[in-house]
Amino acid sequence: MEEPRVATPAPAVIPTDATGPAAGKATGAAEPAAGKGRALGPVALVVTAGLSVQFGAAIAVLLMPRTGPVGVVALRLTLSAIVMLAVCRPTLRGHARADWGTVVVFGAAMAAMNGLFYQAADRIPLGAAVTLEVLGPLVLSVIVSRRLVNVVWAALALGGVVLLSGGGFDRLDPVGAAFALAAGAMWALYIVFSARTGRRFPQADGLALAMGVGALFALPLGLAEAGAKLLVPSTLGLGLAVALMSSVLPYTLELLALRRMPAPTFAVLMSLEPAIAATAGFFVLHQALSVTDAVAVALVIVASMGAVRTQIGRATTPA
């Protein structure tokens, strides 16, 4: 999954405020219809966020010939940071040194995750890149859970990766595959520090500050790679589209969804990212998956969903 995103494998359930003062007043057939509407609403938000992220990633791939992968990262993080800082206007005072340390690590992980992912997407199909990247959160989920059944999910995911590689990553470009796996490791680190930042900063202040830190890491590298090409109006326009589609819009939609659905359900839906990425790659980049590749993506998705649902069961089982 291409981030910065709000994603967590934690089994905690976020209280819902989907029901207002009028809840329970409707009677008869209107009641289940309203319930279905409330249930489908946040799901639609998460799916829309996923579509936004992955189609944004496809646009980023189209932008790479102009700026290179590092230039795309610099544009995305810098423009995202400008928008988020302007909207959130986070308070800079009153934070401990440990708070700032958390934000710096979070921002560095964000920059590394995006940089590695775009290097992968520049070399291998988008669907394959996201499939390999999602292994990072999956491994983190297995480690956190510490349940034997998650070994089964890990093995299923490994089977998908073997299928995707065709018995050897040289079919995919070993460098691109390595970048995607490294991006997955950074995604796992991102998840850990996203949670820590959320506990230390109110609202989305921590994310906005971390984006600023990530931009400070990425911008000098982007300028070194692309230079004045980053300032071409059409390039800036595409960069802004990537920033809005891959960061600002999905974060906002996911934040709204998490107010109305349990976090584990959200995590299960996030497991669909490889399929969405493959769809975006097909329609925007004309990257068709073979039957074997499609089966591989499906195995990783099932493994991710299984690992998350296992945690849900563990969290809801009485002690």
- pLDDT tens-digit series, residues 209-233: 999 999 999 999 999 999 999 999 9
What residues in the chain have per-residue pLDDT under 70?
Answer: 1-40, 141, 144-147, 150, 165-170, 263-265, 267-268, 307-319
pTM: 0.78
Give, in order, the Cα–Cα distances in Å from 170 to each of 123, 173, 277. 12, 5, 21
Look at residue 258 in the predicted model and tell me its pLDDT: 72
**Residue 232: DSSP 8-state:** -
* pLDDT tens, residue by residue, 112-167: 999 999 999 999 999 889 888 888 877 776 776 666 776 787 788 778 877 776 65
Residues 6+ apart with CB under 8 A from 74: 67, 215, 218, 219, 221, 222, 223, 226, 230
Which of 22, 34, 3, 45 is closest to 258 using CA atoms? 45
